[in-house]
Amino acid sequence: MRLNAFLARAGVASRRRADELIKAGRVNVNGEPGQLNTVVGAHDRVEVDGREVTRQRLRYVLLHKPAGVVTTARDPHRRPTVVELVPDAPRVVPVGRLDADTTGVLLLTNDGQLAHRLAHPRYGVEKTYVAEVEGDPDEDALQRLRDGVELDDSRTAPARARRLGPSRVELVLHGGRKHQVKRMLAAVGPPVTGLHRSAYAGLTLVGLEPGRWRELEPHEVERLRAG
């Protein structure tokens, strides 16, 4: 893997910060200065400021994100973050984002390769949301969601949409644009008053209360990689 990815996985720094360390000459690989394009193998020795960096085990954490917590590793406004809700060794970061007021399934990991795959739009990872809305959307509004909605930055892909009850809609998407669910529902009429992600890439929150987490089972990790 590339040197910056190795440093990020080891919990030394983010990839961007790792690049800065490399460019500053503070990272050695097998006794030689590391470069931005250096690839690290299983038997290579990596040092930062003369201290050896050890590999961390890969970790996959499923969190039931509560409302009022931001999906980031650090927040300049000192709001609580999702990273603070899980053990910090080895360090994991969230895959994608949920708004602060949105609850539900969130995956955190230090597996950069898998995180990139899951977050990239071209892989079409399935996400299921349950939205509480003002009013009661009719069949015409649901059909518009199924067909795709014209937003200010482009048209959304078709989604699965169904009414769960009065003022309650389920949307299944494969996209992940900023505020997409809220924007889609606002475009067809009913503004969102509450949003919950009930499933992500086949992962659900069975047995997890808000703010609680669990490690993924090996078969779940393999399914994510194969999907």
What are the residue numbers of the active site? 99
Cross-strand bridge partners of residue 93: 109
Rounded alpha-carbon distances, angstroms, from residue 140 to 19, 103, 130, 226: 51, 27, 18, 37
Task: Give residue for tokens 């990689």.
Answer: 225
d(CA 56, CA 112): 12
d(CA 168, CA 179): 18
